Amino acid sequence: MTDFAVWLEGSAVGVWTRESSSIWAYPTVLTLHTVGLGVLVGANAVIDFRLLGFAPRLPIPSLAPLYRFMWAGFAVNTVTGIMLFASNATTKAKQPVFYIKLTLIVLALIVTAVIRRTVERDPALRIADLSSRPGRRLAALSLLLWAGAVTAGRLMAYL
């Protein structure tokens, strides 16, 4: 891992993101990472809160286009995340909170996929009157995991 981190930090992407004085380098990459976070976690929150019983008049199947926004946000954050990691790889690779963040993201993605499956398999959604327990639990778990990923990401600047 250390060799890989050293290589990545010295790679063209790592050097550019870290050392370019251009506003398009580190500042813009970081900003895009924040926008992607807002879109990905925000779109998730719309569905999760609906499943938790907020806005009961909102038909759950009508929310399906939000998954496209989530994918877009996730794609942006994968690319910008790799660039941000590359800019300071040797330090970040040693941060436990970085691995906690990655773990939380993987778990959150799994829960998000399970929610999507459940919703799509039962579009009449008895889940729609969704006092249904499993739906609520999944939604609460999804919110917790995504909030945890955001928290871990923020803590990377401090720990």
Collapsed DSSP state (helix, strand, coil) of residue 73: helix
Q: Provide the minimum distance between the beta carbon of 142 and other proteins in the complex, in angstroms, as a whole number.
A: 12
Give the binding-site size for other proteins (rule: CB under 8 A). Answer: 38
Give the Å distances, CA to CA, from 26 to 1, 57, 87, 126: 23, 43, 8, 47
**What secondary structure letter does DSSP report for 55?**
S
Q: With CB under 8 A as the contact rule, which of the stretches 49-57, 105-113, 119-127, 133-141 interacts with other proteins?
A: 49-57
Nearer to other proteins, 126 or 154 (CB): 154
Q: Is 1 in the site for other proteins (CB under 8 A)?
A: no
**Residues 55, 58, 61, 67, Cα dihedral to 10°:** -60
- Residue 131 parent element (H or E): none
Question: Is the backbone of residue 59 left (phi > 0), alpha (psi -120 to 50) or beta?
Answer: beta
Q: Applying CB under 8 A, which of residues 30, 97, 102, 109 lies at the interface with other proteins?
A: 30
Report if residue 154 touches other proteins, rule: CB under 8 A: yes
The Cβ of residue 4 has, within 10 Å, a number of other Cβ atoms equal to 11
Q: Does 124 help bind other proteins (rule: CB under 8 A)?
A: no
Contact set with other proteins (CB under 8 A):
23, 26-27, 30-31, 34-35, 37-39, 41-46, 49-50, 54-59, 61-63, 65-66, 146-147, 150-151, 153-155, 157-158
